[in-house]
Structure 1
Amino acid sequence: MSAKPGPVFLERRTYRRRRTADAARLLPFLGVVLIGVPLLWGDESAEMAKTTRVMLYLFLVWVLLAGLSAIISRNLDKGEDDAPPGETPTRDDM
């Protein structure tokens, strides 16, 4: 028969790194959706939303996206590369 199959599940560190990379890839799409929300604001009387509220909302979205990207990039840059366990990656390996 064939050799014994490998583990079905990924190592926890590898799994988290991949999901964090997926979150980094989806962050621009989240930004586009959140920045597009003020386009939906307005009353039924065809009045536009107040500029101050829209600018405050856009600033808060910008801060939120910057904070999320900082957290995600910090988690991606912890040095948890695909190096074998017990070895620490060097700058030459990256």
Structure 2
Amino acid sequence: MRRPRAPLFLARRSYRRRRLRDAARLLPVLGLFFFLLPMLWLPATPGLPDTAWKGVYLFVIWGGLVAVAFVLAPGLSAADEDQGRAEDEG
């Protein structure tokens, strides 16, 4: 008789958890990009900096990063709990 072959693809649950961890690891890099982006902007009027708009932009980006981290956090904690259970059993 033939031995059953291992599945070709990962289980959906573990695949999604890995992608969630990847997204969480990419979040600081994405945040750094968006924080440094205003340095490339030119002022609307030469000689006058657009400090107020850049400040508002930075706070909006900061709030967006906090919101994304808030959305990702529950899935990451669930993944850590399941990983801890698997280590205890194995």
What is the TM-score normalised by the length of structure 2?
0.78
Once the two structures are TM-superposed, the CA of residue 4 in structure 1 deviates from its matched residue by: 3.2
Cα contact 1:20–1:72 (8 A) shared by 2: yes
Helix, strand or coil at the partner of 1:6: coil
Q: What does the per-residue CA deviation read over 1:34-66, in whole Å, with 9 as the maximum and x for residues that have no partner?
A: 001100011597546411100000000000000
TM-align CA RMSD: 2.5
The residue that corresponds to 1:4 in the other structure is 4
Paired amino acid for 1:5: R
Match of 2:67 in 1: 67
Q: Identity, % of aligned pairs?
A: 39
Under a length normalisation based on structure 1, what TM-score does the superposition of the two structures give? 0.75
Shift of 1:3: 3.6
- Give 1:75 shift: 1.5
- Structure with more of its chain in helix, by fraction: 2
Provide structure 1 residue ranges, at least 5 long, that are not aligned to the other structure.
84-88
Structure of greater relative contact order (alpha carbons < 8 Å, 6+ residues apart): 2
The 4+ residue runs of structure 1 with deviation greater than 2 A are 1-5, 43-49
Q: Deviations over 1:62-86 (max 9, x none)?
A: 0000011111111212356247xxx
Q: Which residue of 2 aligns with 1:19?
A: 19
Letter in 1 for 2:32: V
